[in-house]
Amino acid sequence: MKRVLITGITGQDGSYLAEFLLKKDYQVFGLARFSRTGSFENIRTILPDIKLYDADLIEYTSLVKIIEQCRPDEVYNFASVSFVPSSWHTPVLAAEVNAVGVTRLLDAICMVNSKIKFYQASSSEMFGHVVESPQNESTPFRPISPYAVAKLYAHHITQTYREAYKIPASCGIAFNHESPRRGPNFVTRKVTRGAAEIKLGISKELRMGNLEAKRDWGYAPDYVEAMWLMLQQPEPDDYVIATGKTHSVEELLECAFSYIERPWQEHVRQDPKLYRPTDLHLLLGDATKIKQKLNWAPKKSFEAMIHEMVEHDLSRLK
């Protein structure tokens, strides 16, 4: 039985990965901050089957002790200040967790067992103001938010530890991926919940920022399978995880409101206050490498994913 440690296990990716690995007979350990109110909803059904540690990436000594105790074969790092706009308000915290925290975790692995396979959740936000489209593993990075800068540091420090200490560490440069477990402050969930509230008469309008921004949106359960595949390879490597298709926020609105059979134009109001200080206009991933080398491809369509999210929000609100 393989043993796995998942940081950020209560989040979207961590919870889906935990469920996925339990089905593959892994023994699952997770890092979670117990002080976060209501953060266990995503893992509620699997709590009896996993072991949790109350820790984060700030405490180096606790990381060493936890790795010594659970003796993982694989470590997946999802712990992060993950909402990009909030990183403008807490840039030091974003750096402390998303950048320096990853160094602490890698160093703890070196201290205990440098043969542990490691996955770092890198981000398409690192591409920033893109110089080419679509973006692949060789595209230059030009981050334009504190979140993206911290993620780029973590990406490079993971590569550095792989080269210097021979840790079998891989980075997944994941483009946006969504699900009913996405946090309510993310634009996809904001739209699907907003549409559900309008359908049920809870609210009448939805305030949005930039409707022209485009993203490559995939389905989180599909993406965690790609992450797992990366650590099953004989050699570590870095991969873009993406659908290769882009949709604008306006298309997102159209898709969500079509499910509730309402015209989005009658309910959506643009608010300049909701624009980012700097915004990305087009992120589009080229996942050729992972498709060819790992035989991975996304399964669920954008439309099916958004409809699932709207239905989930309707059910919860009812």
**Could you tell me the pTM of the whole model?**
0.93
Mention every residue, 6+ apart, whose C-beta is less than 8 A from residue 309: 178, 179, 180, 182, 188, 189, 192, 256
pLDDT for 200 equals 97
For the chain, 318 residues long, give each residue's pLDDT as a single digit of tens.
Answer: 999 999 999 999 999 999 999 999 999 999 988 755 457 999 999 999 999 999 889 999 999 999 999 999 999 999 988 778 778 888 999 999 999 999 999 999 999 999 999 999 999 999 998 889 999 999 999 999 999 999 999 999 999 999 999 999 999 999 999 999 999 889 999 999 999 999 999 999 999 998 988 899 999 999 999 999 999 999 999 999 999 999 999 999 999 999 999 999 999 999 888 776 666 668 899 999 999 999 999 999 999 999 999 999 999 999
In the residue annotation, 123 being an active-site residue is answered as: yes
In the residue annotation, 137 being an active-site residue is answered as: no
Rounded to the nearest angstrom, the gap between the alpha carbon of residue 108 and the centroid of all alpha carbons in its chain is 23
Residue tagged active-site, from 123, 124, 170, 179 = 123
Tell me the C-alpha distance between 84 and 186, whole Å.
Answer: 9
Residue tagged active-site, from 26, 119, 147, 259 = 147
70: how many CB neighbours lie within 10 A of its CB? Answer: 18
Tell me the C-alpha distance between 37 and 50, whole Å.
Answer: 19
pLDDT for 124 equals 95
In the residue annotation, 147 being an active-site residue is answered as: yes
pLDDT for 277 equals 61
Residue tagged active-site, from 19, 74, 125, 178 = 125
Q: What are the chain's domains?
A: 3-177+218-241 (3.40.50.720), 183-216+245-283+300-317 (3.90.25.10)
Mention every residue, 6+ apart, whose C-beta is less than 8 A from residue 239: 137, 170, 171, 172, 173, 226, 230, 287, 289, 290, 293, 294
